[in-house]
Amino acid sequence: MNLEIPIYKKFKTRFSKNVIFWILNNLKYGEVISYSDIGRNINSKAYRAIGSILKNNPYPFIIPCHRVIKNNGTIGGFMGKSEESWETNLKKKILILEGLKL
């Protein structure tokens, strides 16, 4: 079975593609990384822009943006919602299922 995800239709800029493809190619199950760490890996200091790209990710379980956390180690938002929402609680539960101790 082949599954096609129209990533190029949603992520049109080179910058957004760099962010998404870095995550897909490097961020493994059970690992977390900060927005600033992603920036360093793609040679950018546009950490808020990285957060904005992930905030608008329409495929949160395919492009694992739940594994991206704040630089201070806190969870941050998920699926475009701020902390203390059901979405953020879901992010926390997914990370726990992946073996992280929060």
The residues carrying an active-site annotation are 65
Are 7 and 18 spatial neighbours (Cβ–Cβ below 8 Å)? Answer: no
- Longest pairwise C-alpha distance within the chain: 40
Are 97 and 29 spatial neighbours (Cβ–Cβ below 8 Å)? Answer: no
DSSP state of 83: S
